[in-house]
Copies of this chain bind each other. A is one copy, B any other.
Amino acid sequence: MDPKQKLNQGALPQLLGYRLRLAQQAVFRDFAASVQGLSPGRVGLLIFIDANPGVTQSRLAEAAERDRSTMVGVLDQLEARSLIERRRGADRRTNGLWLTRAGRTLLARALRAIAGHEQRIAARLSAVERRQLFALLAKISR
């Protein structure tokens, strides 16, 4: 190996999955630098709960494409931070989920930070390009 020289990437740059991963890592880096205290996944859950107050854990798990057992620990954490609350449903096997006041406040703050983050990323594209990218990503998301 020639030391000190950039590595040969072989066929990697031709692979869509690799390009997608690089793009996502770049976006995640900027997200993490922009939004304090919440990962992209956690924000997604808070948005889901905010948009569907009283949703059950199982339905949330299904929407987020995770096992319902996985949700338990995640929701435990959000509840321990007083961002959400569980309330026993009419069907008493279920828990309905709601954002607390603190949860709504934190989500609102996160969404403002995310707006800045999105603008920073979008600034690398024209408005047309941004629309194209969304459309192309939708085409391969099946």
A: which residues have CB within 8 A of B?
Answer: 1, 3, 7-12, 14-28, 31, 40, 44, 47-48, 50-56, 59-60, 63, 65, 96, 111, 114, 118, 121-122, 124-125, 129, 132-134, 136-142
Contact = CB atoms under 8 A, between A and B. Distances in A.
Given A16-B121, A20-B23, A21-B24, 16 more contacts: A7-B55, A9-B63, A10-B48, A10-B51, A11-B111, A12-B47, A16-B27, A16-B118, A16-B133, A19-B137, A20-B24, A23-B140, A24-B24, A27-B140, A124-B139, A124-B140
The 7 closest A-B pairs by CB, nearest first: A10-B51, A8-B51, A1-B54, A10-B47, A7-B63, A23-B137, A22-B141
Nearest to A64: B7
Nearest to A51: B10
Contacts of A26: 140-142
Contacts of A65: 25
B23 A27 contact: no
Given A7-B52, A51-B7, A52-B7, A141 B23 contact: yes
Given A7-B55, A7-B63, A8-B52, A141 B47 contact: no
Contacts of A12: 44, 47-48
A115 to B, nearest CB: 10
A139 B56 CA distance: 39
